[in-house]
Structure 1
């Protein structure tokens, strides 16, 4: 059986991650798949390069799963993030949650992606047609070098 939390350089499988959370009392299994998009606020992305502090990142993913279990008892969560070079449309993150009811599944899944951005030590280098830049946190509060407004995340 695959672990429910992890970081990998291999392509992610939505089906594989989802299967780790399915159980007899789950009435809802919801997945979030974050992919690399090409255009962000008018800038063309060529590819992304993700890096992580591996041991801490996996521990933080587990922490998020624990937090979800406390907030939505009975919820089972799995989170996998990919690192390395990712091309446009590649899957960067898969989150799967299984709950008794759909409302909790939506809430828990949204909570998971927001917490990943807040606490998991994963960084990315954006490669654009006109330059590149390391993004130091998942909240991406760093403005573009061109002075454009703060940018959006690549897995919305």
Structure 2
């Protein structure tokens, strides 16, 4: 059965339970649903909001390309990635990945793969709006995130 990933880039919040229901409703072949929801942190009380920008079309296409790669690597029955843009305040949801499969390992690995990609290489730019009223700089990628994502390249090379 062919599975087409769903990718949404939106300013509005999302409902985890509704998204899981939409992916799994009426399906008796799904044995695992793995989800990851990323939230905005307050960075020790210093952050008032995180501003996320993207190039419409380009970001959607690039995330879809990586989702197709995940669908080719693991036997998935469903894959959803939602990434928000605009101003996101601490405690609010930023990103959601849901992977469904007959078995848990494929769902866990596909969700982990997607999040590593979204964290390090998705074409989004993040700028901090600080609690003191100032606007901070653009947030740089963290080396530990890049290191985590590099394991998927090593896995693909071994396959």
Q: TM-score, normalised by structure 1?
A: 0.77
Aligned equivalent of 2:28? 24
CA–CA separation in structure 2 for the residues paired with 1:91 and 1:50: 12
Aligned equivalent of 1:45? 47
Contact 1:17 1:80 in 2 (8 A): no
- How well do the aligned residues superpose, as a CA RMSD in angstroms? 2.2
CA offset at residue 8 of structure 1?
A: 0.5
What per-residue deviation string (whole Å, max 9, x for no partner) do you get for residues 93-137 of structure 1? 01100011112211111100011133321111112346511125x
Aligned equivalent of 1:70? 72
CA–CA separation in structure 2 for the residues paired with 1:60 and 1:104: 22
Task: Select 1:33's aligned residue among 28, 37, 40.
Answer: 37
Which SS does the other structure have where 2:76 is aligned? coil
Which SS does the other structure have where 1:97 is aligned? strand
Name structure 2 gaps, 5 residues minimum.
146-159
CA–CA separation in structure 2 for the residues paired with 1:91 and 1:12: 8
CA–CA separation in structure 1 for the residues paired with 2:124 and 2:97: 15
- Say whether 1:98 aligns with 2:132: no
CA–CA separation in structure 1 for the residues paired with 2:34 and 2:47: 28
CA–CA separation in structure 1 for the residues paired with 2:23 and 2:15: 14
CA–CA separation in structure 1 for the residues paired with 2:117 and 2:22: 20
The aligned length equals 137
Task: Select 2:9's aligned residue among 7, 10, 13.
Answer: 7
CA–CA separation in structure 1 for the residues paired with 2:50 and 2:100: 30
